Amino acid sequence: MSDFLLEFVEITQTIGDGLFFGTTYALIGIGFSLIFGAMRKLNMTYAAASLAGAYVGLAAFTFVNAPAPVVFLISAFASGLVGGVVYITCFRFIPINNHLAALMASIGALFFIDEIVVHTTDGSPLTFPAMFDDVMFELGPYGIRGDLLFVFAVCIAGTVGLLYVLYRSRLGLATRAVSQQDVAAQLCGIDVHRTNAVTFMLAGLLGGIAGAMTAASVGVLSPLITVPLTVKGLIVSVIGGLGSIPGAIVAGLLVGGLENVFLYFRGVNERDMYVLLLLFVFLVFRPNGIFGSAIERD
Amino acid sequence: MLELRGLSKHFGGVKALDGLDLTVNEGDIFGLIGPNGSGKSTTINLICGVYGVTAGTVHFQGDLMNGKPPHQRLRAGIARTFQNIRLFPNLTVWQNLWVAQNSPRDVSAQGFMPRWFGATRRTREEIAGLLELADLGHKSDELASNLAFGEQRRLEFARAAAARPRLLLLDEPAAGMSRAEIDDLSLRIRRVRDSGVTILLVEHVMELVMGVTEQIVVLNFGHKIAFGTPGEVQRNKDVQAAYLGTSSSESQPLDGSV
Amino acid sequence: MSYYLGLTQLIGIHTLLGLSAYILMLTGQLSLGQAGFFAIGAYSAGILTVIFELPILPALLAGAFIAAFFAFFVGFPALRVKGLMLVVATIAFGEFVRLFFFNLSWRVPRGDIEVGPDSTNGFREIRYFVANGWSAWEITAFVWIFVILVMAVLWWTDRSRAGAVLRAVGEDELAAQSVGINLTAVKVAAMTAGGFIAGIGGALYAHTATYIDHLTFTVLLATFAISYPILGGLSSVFGTLVAVIFIQGVLVEGLRFLGDWRNIVFGLLIIAAMNLKPSGLFDPRTSQLLKRAVGLGGGE
């Protein structure tokens, strides 16, 4: 093969890996969007809560040597639980129109969780169980890593599961009703607080999957990725259009793919700078995101 | 003085305003009326530059205003009030008038420092005059949010006058006013006009419109359906059907609209 | 004694950081990117005294101007986004700056060692004060001269028409435009001034700490920056000072026995304060202004 062709294969390979991994970003972005859609508020704790879930799963792995699938499940449910707690501590009792107070409270919770994780782990990364990390599918010149494929499959399953709950269940109907017209929903007998709590837990569940998959795909869970993952989740949801779930999916894949391109050409240290630049490009040229509406009437 | 040609504004599929032609001459008190959702407020927002036009032009004193931001249009001489009063609630009455002194004369005559960081004697005198116009002299250090409703309306009126406009757009200034307050408002409007300001009045309250305006345009569903003196407009069948005449039930819906 | 002088310096520097967020909040802009401007001031001034061997005063002013320069250019795209979107955009800006300094390596030989920013290893040996024999008292006085100067200018501005215009924009953008205020100019000016003030703070920080690295300038620092004016209120610059003294002086020092766990308490404190008094921490005029600042997201 010529050098050019080799390089082409390498680049497409790296983009493909990025797309697979991008599903975790999509999940985090969906979580931000779900909560923004429901309450018109940013839950800054979201990514930290997702990683906290993954740490609970990791504890099960470390102390009772739980098998990987169980670790993933525990991560998801623990994160869902943390999501519920975050709702109660940072959103439930703060007046609905006070966006600043809720924002600040959730930033407080972000640092609270971050500090607990940093202190209990001494700030060092820990081994996280993965599945199918010794499998490699050959596809012509391309190789598909088994663990990445697994991450991809799990995240897709998580998204499909969420969409099913949102659009095919009574619970999802209530969630969507509250997000579109909370007063009217209340008048129809929907308990807004309960519905919001459920939305937070649903989002938390997804986040836990994303947290566990993020860790599984690199084999370690590091306390240093809390803020970067928060920022990346925010970027994905803004690029996709805040509140838009399809937008978050597309943007997650876009960020995942491009991130690996930046990684390929510029190295790991500079990678995230270019992802941030991508956000600025969107803010300047398409501030409403890919799927944001452009109708201007107030 | 003000010329609108083919002015249109569409929001998505909704045609809030569709091809409005209108000429306001210097010294007029010009009325713009119509039922709810007929495009009156949209017209004001297009003249002021809050919205961009979908089609058409806005000329003011011969200059094309399209594309100019609101603050430049104010400096060209177009001031406005808002339908739902929009004062700066946590500034004092005096400060509300102070920040509104943005006529071209204020901007060019004073140096940067006195304009931004001081209050010259002339500034103070002018604000005192505006306070008098609004009968708020005794409340100049009150926060705007502490004023009564009628006082807030008067302050907003004075704030618009603070920029020494050539054209003043009043967006439903009589909403929620008592009979006595409306009479008082008519007087103020005439007084401002007599000081050389042209007035475009958007209004629901017929007592005010019929009492004070000289010419009226009636809008419905984004179209002009009538134009004339208050008397002519009142007699117009289309207008009665669309707006005034709740009694003329036999009248057909408006032709060509919707 | 020198410990308390150090604390006094830190309070002064954090007051500058808080004031840089304060002036932005007056215009209704909530920025979580002030740590970025602080970092630009810190690195620029540090590079000027260490690599170019400039005296502290020109280095500090240059650092502040460089930070203001970047703030000016951040101001324009920031105009396009409001509320929560601006929060996201400024977080991203702060992270971008942090990553830039994480990658920045600029080493020059000085005698038998190399000096300058060394990417992940941080920027060591910003020893201007030590090398020139400044006492801790002199350094503290130097810091506070700038704090007092900035506070005086802001206090005076707030009594002038410029201050009223800033607040008018924060209270109602549409009304402000309609009375002829140039929104772009006012918001960009506030952003630039905020960058300048944060730049001074950063320059002072680099030289009092003598060591900086990218981990100093995280979202946590930016959160501190907005916490001060939020706690202290927007009625006057003194609120910010009182809030810094309370958080850095009373709280952080009072919790010294907790050692490294203090940030957890900071997190808990924010959560508790926001739940117990979501808008009562500040006076009504502050809470109204702030509510509007983060109102609804969306790029509008």
Q: Is the pLDDT of residue C279 over 70?
A: no
Would residue B83 count as lying in a domain? Answer: no
Contact B12 A295 (CB under 8 A): yes
Would residue B114 count as lying in a domain? Answer: yes
The partner residue sitting opposite A284, judged by closest CB among C80, C266, C274, is C80
Range of lowest pLDDT (A139-148, B4-13, B60-69, B129-138): A139-148
The partner residue sitting opposite A105, judged by closest CB among C81, C95, C270, is C270
Last residue of a domain, one of B164, B179, B195: B164
| B48 Cβ under 8 Å from any chain C Cβ | yes
Distances (CA, A) of C90 to A91, A201, B170, C31, C78: 23, 28, 39, 6, 8
- Total structural domains in chain B? 2
> In the predicted model, what is the mean pLDDT of chain C?
88
Contact A296 B12 (CB under 8 A): no
Cβ within 8 Å of residue A226, ≥6 positions away: A47, A48, A51, A110, A113, A114, A117
Phi-psi region at B256: left, alpha or beta (left = phi > 0; alpha = psi -120 to 50)? left
Spatial separation of the C-alpha atoms in residues B203 and B209, rounded to whole Å: 7
Distances (CA, A) of C97 to B182, C33, C48: 58, 9, 18
Phi, psi of A171 (to 5 degrees): -60, -45
Range of lowest pLDDT (B196-205, C10-19, C149-158): B196-205
Per residue in C8-24, pLDDT (tens digit) is 999 999 999 999 999 99
Scored b (16 or more CB within 10 A) or e, C97-110 reads bbbbbbbeeeeeee
pLDDT for B256: 35
Instruction: Give mean pLDDT, residues C214-231.
Output: 91
| Domain harbouring B239, CATH code | 3.40.50.300
Last residue of a domain, one of B120, B142, B164: B164
Instruction: Give mean pLDDT, residues C15-41.
Output: 95
Top pLDDT among C249 and C263 is at C249
Per residue in B122-135, pLDDT (tens digit) is 888 889 999 988 88
The pair of structure tokens assigned to B218 is 């009636």
Tell me: do B151 and B230 sit in the same domain.
no
Would residue C300 count as lying in a domain? Answer: no
Per residue in A91-142, pLDDT (tens digit) is 988 887 778 888 889 999 998 999 899 888 888 888 888 877 777 787 777 8
Tell me: do B49 and B157 sit in the same domain.
no
DSSP label of C246: I
Band of residue C167 on the pLDDT scale cut at 50, 70, 90 = very high
Spatial separation of the C-alpha atoms in residues A193 and A185, rounded to whole Å: 11
Would residue C88 count as lying in a domain? Answer: yes
Q: Quick check: ipTM above 0.90?
A: no
Phi, psi of B22 (to 5 degrees): -160, 140
For the purposes of burial, counting CB atoms within 10 Å of the CB of B158, is it exposed (0-12), middle (13-18) or buried (19 or more)? buried
Tell me: do B101 and B43 sit in the same domain.
no
Contact A280 C263 (CB under 8 A): no
Backbone Cα Rg of chain C: 19
Spatial separation of the C-alpha atoms in residues A92 and A41, rounded to whole Å: 12
Tell me: do B92 and B58 sit in the same domain.
no
| B169 Cβ under 8 Å from any chain C Cβ | no
**pTM, to two decimals:** 0.90
- SS3 for C124? coil
User: What is the CA angle A79-A81-A87, rounded to 5?
Assistant: 105
Instruction: Give mean pLDDT, residues B103-112.
Output: 71
The alpha-carbon gap from B11 to the nearest alpha carbon of chain A, in Å, equals 7
For chain C positions 65-84, those within 8 Å of chain A (CB to CB) are 77, 80-81, 83-84
Contact C89 A276 (CB under 8 A): no
How many residues are listed for chain A in this entry?
A: 298
Per residue in B177-198, pLDDT (tens digit) is 888 888 888 988 898 899 889 9
| C160 Cβ under 8 Å from any chain A Cβ | no
Question: Nearest chain B Cα to C175, which residue?
Answer: B86
pLDDT for A81: 95
Tell me: do B63 and B95 sit in the same domain.
no
Which residues of C fall within a CB distance of 8 Å from A94?
Answer: 274-275, 278
Tell me: do B50 and B127 sit in the same domain.
no
Question: Nearest chain C Cα to A115, which residue?
Answer: C264
Strand partners, C123: C117, C212
- Total structural domains in chain C? 1
The class (CATH top level) of A3-285 is mainly alpha
Would residue B82 count as lying in a domain? Answer: no
Phi-psi region at C54: left, alpha or beta (left = phi > 0; alpha = psi -120 to 50)? beta
| Domain harbouring C233, CATH code | 1.10.3470
Instruction: Give the residue ranges of DSSP H helices in C29-55.
Output: 34-50
Q: Is the pLDDT of residue B248 over 60?
A: no
Last residue of a domain, one of B125, B147, B164: B164
C252 within 8 A of C200, measured Cβ to Cβ: no
Residues of B with CB under 8 A from a CB of A: 11-12, 51
Tell me: do B20 and B135 sit in the same domain.
no
Instruction: Give mean pLDDT, residues B214-238.
Output: 85
Cβ within 8 Å of residue C12, ≥6 positions away: C140, C143, C144, C146, C147, C204
CA B170 to chain centre: 2
Per residue in A198-252, pLDDT (tens digit) is 889 999 999 999 999 888 888 889 888 888 899 999 999 999 988 888 899 999 9
Residue B177: give the domain boundaries.
1-77+167-258
Domains of chain A by residue range: 3-285
Tell me: do B158 and B51 sit in the same domain.
no
> In the predicted model, what is the mean pLDDT of chain B?
85
% chain B with pLDDT above 90? 31
| C300 Cβ under 8 Å from any chain B Cβ | no
CA C102 to chain centre: 19
List of E strands, chain A:
126-127, 136-139, 142-145, 220-221
| B122 Cβ under 8 Å from any chain C Cβ | no
Residue C147: give the domain boundaries.
2-294
Top pLDDT among C200 and C293 is at C200
Tell me: do B57 and B116 sit in the same domain.
no
Q: Is the pLDDT of residue C292 over 80?
A: no
Which residues of C fall within a CB distance of 8 Å from B91?
Answer: 164, 167-168, 171
